[in-house]
Structure 1
């Protein structure tokens, strides 16, 4: 299946996925502007083969030349974006992020351990990726997919996986060991075990329903003492802090 891009040149679904995920990795990047810049640099049509030749230096020069990103963007972020352009860390059924995600207050950023589609079907230490959602009273939006491929090459895999959760308040997993959970908590993220798994949006809808009457984890985000999430999220077990 082909997907149109702003200049009218079609790209394959795989190519569109690579570009969308790379754009989502970069802070404040407009996807349409990013696609246009790629077309200008690589020539049309943009193909997987052309994307595979991109380097971190190429991407940095392209983005800064077109003033798409702040010149001070970290090299690790650029590296992650290039890996997505190469097609690394993307499963065949990886979902595309939603577009037009609202940025207003009152929403949570929640990670979901996943191995396939938009499913909560992963364990913290072995899932292929984390799906990143914004959850608000009026909707649930997929904003990104963070591959665990590079984290698994780190000396401390669990600490590296915890770092992938930056910016999230919660992470939903089917299971997580005590030492790993402690590293997630130290990263400022609250792990929630949901052993039954299921469709990620259906699981998050249970969380969504309690946002009108904020549970204790919100008090914790405000610097107050947190309590268990379990009684607020049916079927879930909030990992206790040791």
Structure 2
């Protein structure tokens, strides 16, 4: 099998770095992965690699090496493109706690670059944005790899974003949503795949006059309830 014609330049870079981590040659690793993933090997296909897949490809009788779990995790992250110069993962914006008064924190489930295209239980990472009425910043990228071995994967994923106020996902089941809400995060389904920044911009535009659910997230009294309370106060004043 020819590997050169079956691999993109970006995928070759990721495999080369992962091979260094695993102390094997890039060709050996390419052939091992090709036994588990259909050719041609692309960035998107490499992003489906898991610790279990890599272990099956490399361990056991006839395997090209025996590696510890932490080594496999680091290799998988490289195959995903994390920390790889020129990968499709977006650059982070500078941020210090307290930089953006009145802002909220948003997690977006993602599998590809800066795209909102992830399901809660299977997305590869969460993109973390700090959002105010005047600006938004990408302040973190949190891989979900370590949640795969948790006793309750949904709880582990909810804990991973527990410092966020809102979660955007393509889909999420009822039991998983309940665990996200228990972590004080408000889940919102965004079924249409698209740039995460576009969804962030829509959220940002709504901060000035938030709908009731968002007002609660922001710790504000929903506008509709505030209006109703004002009417009650006026009525009480007239009775007095």
Tell me: CA distance 1:204–1:223, structure 2 relative to 1, closer, same or farther (3 Å).
closer
How many angstroms does 1:219 deviate by? 2.3
1:1-242 alignment to 2 at 5 Å? 86=74, 89=77, 91-92=80-81, 93-100=88-95, 103-216=99-212, 217-222=214-219
How many angstroms does 1:88 deviate by? 5.2
For 1:156 and 1:148, locate their aligned partners in 2 and report how far apart those are by CA, in whole Å: 13
Any idea what SS the aligned residue of 1:89 has? Answer: helix
Q: Is the 8 A contact 2:105 2:130 kept in 1?
A: yes
Q: Which one has a larger percent helix, Structure 1 or Structure 2? A: 2
How many angstroms does 1:184 deviate by? 0.3
Runs of 4+ residues over 3 Å off in structure 1: 85-90, 223-227
Q: Is the 8 A contact 2:215 2:222 kept in 1?
A: no
Q: Is the 8 A contact 2:109 2:170 kept in 1?
A: yes
For structure 2, the residue ranges without an aligned partner over 5 or more in a row are: 1-16, 22-69, 82-87, 225-240
Q: Is the 8 A contact 1:220 1:226 kept in 2?
A: no
Any idea what SS the aligned residue of 2:201 has? Answer: helix
For 2:222 and 2:164, locate their aligned partners in 1 and report how far apart those are by CA, in whole Å: 18
For 1:96 and 1:180, locate their aligned partners in 2 and report how far apart those are by CA, in whole Å: 29
Q: Is the 8 A contact 2:116 2:170 kept in 1?
A: yes
How many angstroms does 1:159 deviate by? 0.7
Tell me: CA distance 1:226–1:185, structure 2 relative to 1, closer, same or farther (3 Å).
farther
Tell me: CA distance 1:223–1:139, structure 2 relative to 1, closer, same or farther (3 Å).
closer
Q: TM-score normalised to the size of structure 1?
A: 0.55
Any idea what SS the aligned residue of 2:210 has? Answer: coil
Per-residue CA deviation, residues 103-126 of structure 1 (Å, 9 max, x unaligned), is 221111100000010000000000
How many angstroms does 1:221 deviate by? 4.5
Per-residue CA deviation, residues 84-110 of structure 1 (Å, 9 max, x unaligned), is x94653522222211256722111110
From the CA coordinates, give the structure whose radius of gyration is larger: 2
- Number of residues of Structure 1 aligned to a counterpart in Structure 2: 151
Q: TM-score normalised to the size of structure 2?
A: 0.55
